[in-house]
Amino acid sequence: NAGVTQTPKFRVLKTGQSMTLLCAQDMNHEYMYWYRQDPGMGLRLIHYSVGEGTTAKGEVPDGYNVSRLKKQNFLLGLESAAPSQTSVYFCASSALTASYEQYFGPGTRLTVT
């Protein structure tokens, strides 16, 4: 099992450019999440999905869009990147269990100049 994988690992964008981050999980988990991690701010939830074809906004959704066309994949899109979106992005997934422990990918470090 690869667990949760993220592509790419690093990316540098210019302001206004667009990109898509891909997250894949092979654990047949129902729930998937996108977080951003900034120094001193812990993890903040951007968007999440409770199943294939469904998505919902988290704590900081502005400037991002997501799609979950297949159960194993969760895409995060930036339509017009801004320097404020410079961050480390983590994808996670969890099963439909009572404790909801999450499994994280290795992260994508994004710099917007």
Partner 1 sequence: GNSVTQMEGPVTLSEEAFLTINCTYTATGYPSLFWYVQYPGEGLQLLLKATKADDKGSNKGFEATYRKETTSFHLEKGSVQVSDSAVYFCALSEDKTGGFKTIFGAGTRLFVKA
**Residue 77 C-beta: closest distance to partner 1, Å:** 20
Burial of 92 (0-12, 13-18, 19+ CB in 10 A): buried
Q: Which CB atom, from 58 or from 63, has the smaller least distance to partner 1? A: 58
Alpha carbon distance, N-terminus to C-terminus of the chain: 36
What is Dmax (Cα atoms) for the chain?
A: 42
Q: Which of 19, 58, 63, 72 binds partner 1 (CB under 8 A)?
A: 58
Q: Which stretch binds partner 1 (CB under 8 A): 11-19, 68-76, 78-86, 92-100?
A: 92-100
Instruction: Establish if 50 lies at the interface with partner 1 (CB under 8 A).
Output: yes
Between CA 58 and CA 63 the distance in angstroms is 12
> b/e per residue, 9-23, with b = 16+ CB within 10 A?
eebebeeeeebebeb
The residue among 2 and 14 lying less far from partner 1, judged by its C-beta, is 2
Within 1-30, the residues that bind partner 1 by CB under 8 A are 4
Task: Note the residues at the interface with partner 1 (CB under 8 A).
Answer: 4, 31, 40-43, 45, 48, 50, 58, 90, 92, 94, 98-107
